[in-house]
Structure 1
Amino acid sequence: MTTRTESVDTPAGEARVTWHPADAARLVLAVGHGAGGGIEARDLQALAAALPGRGITVALVEQPWRVAGKKVAAAPKVLDEGWRALWPALLAAGPPVVAGGRSAGARVACRTAAGLGAAGVLALAFPLHPPGRPEKSRAEELLGAGRPTLVVQGGRDPFGHPDEFPPAGSGSGLDPGLDPAPGARPGPRTPYELVAVPHGDHGFAVPKRADVTQAETLAAITGAVAEWLDRLPLR
């Protein structure tokens, strides 16, 4: 598979998209990174390696602050501004685009998906609250995404354990028109589905003593995401 890199000018500075193309792609999954790392994150790289073979182009998006070599992420408003500005470059590939991200990138995807007309939202390691501060919930960002949404969350994530999330049938009452995914926790009319990753931390790392390996964990993540994408009702 041949990757290519595209620079995109935004009001927040130069953003960068690394394309992992699929032959005859039926969907583009655009995934942004978190505030503490870049597109080298293990889950993002696993998706980029696995999904093109299933007809899904993966676009790994680097926000302007990261491209500029800064160590501190931009403010949420600036992150959203950069994401919106690069969206036309993602649409130019042709197929419908799913907005995705890990951690802070997941929040960006949730906040902007409806306005951009995204086909869906993939939230990897959604930071439901700051570590140790469950009262500072960001659930409304997730529940307000307004598009079919999949959350993939580590069982040991200090930013929110899977059982801390609101019931999948609560919130906006949106009906994404999807059947429940294996291992997911959907309700009959649910704004999102949640897949728990046993033993995974915020970066989906699993301890060596766990009864699953790191490779098995990443395979489970990519499998769950691929299965959900296969069921998305594309317009």
Structure 2
Amino acid sequence: MTHETRSGPGESTGPVETIETDTGTARITWRTAREPRLLLAVSHGAGGGIEARDLKALAAELPAHGVTVALVEQPWRVAGKKLAPAPRTLDAGWRGIWPALAERGLPVISGGRSAGARVACRTAAELGAAAVLALSFPLHPPGKPEKSRADELLGAGVPVLVVQGGNDPFGRPAEFPAGDGYELAEVPYADHGFAVPKRAEIGQDEAVKRVTDAVVRWTGMLDA
């Protein structure tokens, strides 16, 4: 199935592609750079889809900077299910879409938000990802810092950028462990979905811009 997407500066239209995986049908919405140097494949979390504000903003912004974006919908989401499956099933779905990414012939950044960020970290080394973009990495369940998932982040085996809300109940920036191989960009006042309260010193548009600016800067350094 294909349809044309709106193009902007530095971006060309691209198809929506369905991919058969061992866990069902996945879907990729492409936003293609005119002269791509990198490919960012980024998936949603357990409670939402590719319409998340950060994913939409990255898909709109990055092609102008030479980064093709593949917005990936996991099979459970395509099937209309409300609950995400077990981590091993999420990982299997991600492995299933990887050949469609690798055939583009570009270095692939494996990315995701929340649960999708965990998938990207767990599978990066085995799939040969060039780097990982972890948006709103769920370091622990809310209110349960003792149930840390830091080992997934620290064990990615490739360069990682974490973009984290300053008020994310799944892990505030100060809670993240020291470690080599990853850097963290904070979006002040933002929650797990990068929403900021009205009383915040920055508005919602500025919060989203903090996300895209951090990723543009980081991707510019990857192939420098």
Equivalent AA in structure 2 for residue 230 of structure 1: G
When normalised by structure 1's length, the TM-score is 0.89
- What is the aligned partner in structure 2 of residue 124 from structure 1? 135
Equivalent AA in structure 2 for residue 100 of structure 1: G
Structure 1 Cα separation of the partners of residues 152 and 94 of structure 2 = 16
- What is the aligned partner in structure 2 of residue 150 from structure 1? 161
Structure 2 Cα separation of the partners of residues 127 and 110 of structure 1 = 12
- What is the aligned partner in structure 2 of residue 89 from structure 1? 100
- What is the aligned partner in structure 2 of residue 10 from structure 1? 21
Q: Cα deviation per residue 1:168-197 (whole Å; 9 max; x = unaligned)?
A: xx2xxxxxxxxxxxxxxxxxxx21000111
- What is the aligned partner in structure 2 of residue 213 from structure 1? 203
Task: Give the alignment partner of residue 149 of structure 2, picking from 115, 128, 138.
Answer: 138
Q: Secondary structure at the match of 1:58?
A: strand
CA shift at 1:233, angstroms?
A: 4.3
Structure 1 Cα separation of the partners of residues 126 and 103 of structure 2 = 17
Structure 1 Cα separation of the partners of residues 114 and 86 of structure 2 = 14
Task: Give the alignment partner of residue 58 of structure 2, picking from 18, 26, 47.
Answer: 47
- What is the aligned partner in structure 2 of residue 105 from structure 1? 116
Structure 1 Cα separation of the partners of residues 73 and 103 of structure 2 = 18
Task: Give the alignment partner of residue 184 of structure 2, picking from 180, 187, 194.
Answer: 194
- What is the aligned partner in structure 1 of residue 219 from structure 2? 229
RMSD of Structure 2 on Structure 1 (CA): 0.9
Matched, 1:166 2:177: yes
Q: Secondary structure at the match of 1:71?
A: coil
- What is the aligned partner in structure 1 of residue 194 from structure 2? 204
Structure 1 Cα separation of the partners of residues 59 and 40 of structure 2 = 9
Q: Cα deviation per residue 1:83-139 (whole Å; 9 max; x = unaligned)?
A: 011100011222111000000000000000000010100000000000000000000
Question: Gaps spanning 5+ residues in structure 2: where?
Answer: 1-6, 8-12
Equivalent AA in structure 2 for residue 39 of structure 1: I
CA shift at 1:3, angstroms?
A: 3.5
Q: Cα deviation per residue 1:39-84 (whole Å; 9 max; x = unaligned)?
A: 0000000000000011100100000000000000011000000101
Q: Secondary structure at the match of 2:121?
A: helix
CA shift at 1:213, angstroms?
A: 1.0
Structure 2 Cα separation of the partners of residues 117 and 217 of structure 1 = 31
CA shift at 1:217, angstroms?
A: 1.0
Q: Secondary structure at the match of 1:19?
A: strand
Question: Gaps spanning 5+ residues in structure 1: where?
Answer: 171-189
Aligned length, in residue pairs: 213
Structure 1 Cα separation of the partners of residues 97 and 78 of structure 2 = 14
Equivalence map 1:178-189=2 (5 Å)? none
Structure 1 Cα separation of the partners of residues 204 and 168 of structure 2 = 15
Q: Secondary structure at the match of 2:33?
A: coil
Structure 2 Cα separation of the partners of residues 58 and 122 of structure 1 = 12
Q: Judge which range, 126-135 or 213-222, deviates more.
A: 213-222
Structure 2 Cα separation of the partners of residues 229 and 116 of structure 1 = 19
Q: Judge which range, 101-110 or 213-222, deviates more.
A: 213-222
When normalised by structure 2's length, the TM-score is 0.93
Equivalent AA in structure 1 for residue 210 of structure 2: A
